Amino acid sequence: MTILPGSVGTLSASDDIEHAIAPEPGRTALLKDMLFGQASTIFAFSVVVIFLLVAILAPWLAPYDPLAQSILSINKQPSWAHWLGTDQFGRDVLSRMIHGSRNSLLFGLISPALAAFFGTILGVTAGYFGGVIDRVISRVVDLLLAFPELLLAIMIAAVLGGAFWNIIAVITVAFVPGFARVARASTLAVKQEPYIEAAVAVGLRTPTIIIRHVIPNIAAPILVLMTLWVASAIRLEASLSFLGIGTRAPNPSWGNIIRDGLNNLFGSPWPIIAAGFAITCVVLSFNLMGDAVRDVLDPETTR
Amino acid sequence: MLYRLADAIPTIWLVLTLVFIAMRILPGDPAIAALGDGALPEQLAEFREKMGLNVPIWQQYFNFLIGTLTLDFGKSYMNGAPVLDLIARNLPYTIQLTVAAMILGTVIGIPFGVLAAVKRGKLPDSGMRIFSLVGYAVPDFYLGALFLIGFALNLRWFPINGAGSGFFDILHHLFLPALTLALVKAAFIGRLTRTSVLEVLGKDYVRTARAKGARENRVIYRHALRNALLPLATGMGLSLLATLSGSVAVELVFNRPGIGRLLIQSITERDYGVIQGGVVVFALMVVFVNLMMDLLYVVIDPRIRVK
């Protein structure tokens, strides 16, 4: 917490200048402040809670069967019977949206968690052992990091095809390099600490050192990355489903609701408008939440 | 500089090897996948012969490497057309779109970012924050679909699909898809510009410039923005690649020809010949862009040349 030179007036680059001067509050207080201190975070928190509830309670909330087609009610405009209208197969758009939220939630939570797991293993291995292992892992990770996640996901999905676990695998692989890099860098830093040297001197076995002493000390940045990437995973699943290589029809996902909507532009624009709005809101909220979590767990990062 | 160029070669080799392995991991026989379960043994043999699948795997790998080097990406499994032709036909549209989005996004993003930095904490800054938050969250294909519904379908200002022919017709077709990608990009570039300019505005030489009595505009554009360019260039490289991957979905929304649509189409048709070619082309473009970015740093910041 140093006062930056030239921090008087508007010259400073630091967004956290108020924090730099104010005394540091405790962690729980900070958490409370981050979650409820700002209107935007309250908004984000509410959207996330609503989203979670909708996804969990989908079968009870949806007014219709999301797969039930009806020739009699094709392309209906929004009405009391169908709040968001119906699509070209006469399916209720609201029900499809509600069920589609489950996909977003599943992918949004499972992929970052899996990627964190594998990425940490790779990164810690590379960082702790160094040498040839490090060079090989780092090289591949650098290479994969050069690819935008979406492009990587498209390329892998192109090869694998789009069953549920394939999509999970695709998004996971797209995220692993990022985690591996963070885990490696953190491990390198932790390895310099005296307590690791002490653990080695005491004669602890390497796996024990890694599990007991390295991993707990690199957990924070990885957790931060995980929360930040929930939003990315949801977006990625939507994109892949939109492209027709994610969740397959007839199962609803926000991405493929937009895809179907695009094939039915002259019929009804409502599926597109509603599904896209839902994706935007949820991704925006998870982004804001991720930022808040980062500020709590990783206070040193400045935006 | 030469080192950077030489460094790209093992990268390309690694990429090609990964693509090859990925394509061969696939369960099932590509010949059966292409011709269907009912295909006769003779048909399968003929197909393998034609696609070069009847030689040992290491030889296939070797052929694949040599083929890529000589720009021979193999043939479509569906109709036997050379993949290179398909790519050559579609690539210009993708480049058009990416370049147009890049220019438009920079033109919108940089001034907005500078404005937000200069008016820090005031209305333009809040505007920038909201713009970038939404820009990070909104999927490009959704934005594109909204534009399509609003400006093409309802107002009829723009054509609904295709790429057009003739200079003005092409621009007319290009505008909405490019704007879609550009706005998402502008959110990113604007935010980045704001951060880099704020950082630079705190530096001594800016204070010196002000003390000398330089006019505020000159201080910002000559002294601050110029020095903010380096981190900006890094970000632009990243965002160029993001735009490239975004172009896949946007091409689909506006039904434009392009590499992205070609790849997606080949995935739907399970045309592994084209998939492999498309994936290789995208991979090479990523390597190429990264290389260009590295070289660009040297041009922008002469200090790097020493290394």
Of B199, B263, B286, the CB nearest to A147: B286
Q: What is the pLDDT of residue B181?
A: 92
- Annotation: CATH topology of A27-297: MetI-like fold (1.10.3720)
pLDDT at residue A117 greater than cutoff 90: yes
- Specify the long-range contacts of residues B85-90, CB closer than 8 Å, at least 24 apart: B86/B262, B86/B274, B86/B277, B87/B259, B87/B262, B87/B277, B87/B278, B87/B281, B89/B257, B90/B257, B90/B258, B90/B259, B90/B261, B90/B262
Check residue B13 and give its pLDDT.
Answer: 83
Mean pLDDT over the full length of chain A: 79
pLDDT band at A2 (very low <50, low <70, confident <90, very high): very low
pLDDT digits (tens, 9 = 90+) for B73-87: 777 877 778 888 888
Residues 153-212 of A with CB under 8 A from B: 154-160
Residue with more model confidence, B99 or A149: B99
- What was the pLDDT predicted at A280? 92
Nearest CA in chain A to B17: A140
pLDDT at B306 > cutoff 60:
no
Residue of B19, B188, B267, B279 best to disrupt the A interface, most CBs of A under 10 A? B267
CB atoms A159 and B252 under 8 Å = no
Note whether B146 contacts A273, CB cutoff 8 Å. yes
* Whole-Å CA distances, B165 to A290, B60, B171, B173, B228: 46, 40, 9, 9, 39
pLDDT range class, residue A33, cuts 50, 70, 90? low
Which tops the pLDDT comparison, A35 or B246? B246
A147 contact B CB<8A: yes
| CB contacts, 8 Å: A283 with chain B | 136-139
Please give the residue of chain B at the shortest CA–CA distance from A140: B14
Nearest to A146 among B145, B242, B290 (CB): B290
What average pLDDT is seen over chain B? 81
Higher pLDDT, A14 or A69: A69
Q: Which of A197-206, A224-233, B215-224 has the lowest mean pLDDT?
A: B215-224
Portion of chain A with pLDDT greater than 70, in percent? 85
pLDDT at position A7 over 50: no
- Tell whether the model's pLDDT for residue B20 goes beyond 90: no
What is the model's pLDDT at position A30?
61
- Per-residue confidence band for A193, with pLDDT thresholds at 50, 70 and 90: confident
pLDDT at A25: 53
Q: How far is B41 from chain A (nearest CA, A)?
A: 25
Q: What is the ipTM of this complex?
A: 0.82
Say which of A7, A155, A243 has its CB closest to residue B252.
Answer: A243
A34 band by pLDDT with thresholds 50, 70 and 90:
low
Please, which residues have CB within 8 angstroms of residue B280's CB and are 6 or more apart in sequence? B15, B16, B19, B68, B73
Given this model, what pLDDT does residue B97 score? 92
Q: Is the pLDDT of residue A155 over 80?
A: no
The nearest CA of chain A is from the CA of B15 a distance in Å of 8
For residue A28, what pLDDT is reported? 64
Q: Which range has highest mean pLDDT (A22-31, B211-220, B245-254, B280-289)?
A: B245-254
Domains in chain A: boundaries: 27-297
Domains of chain B listed by start with CATH number? 2-69 (no CATH), 90-300 (1.10.3720.10)
pTM: 0.81
User: From the CA of B40, how many Å to the nearest CA of chain A?
Assistant: 25
pLDDT in tens, A216-261: 888 888 888 888 888 888 988 888 888 888 777 778 888 888 888 8
Position A114 confidence tier, pLDDT thresholds 50, 70, 90:
very high
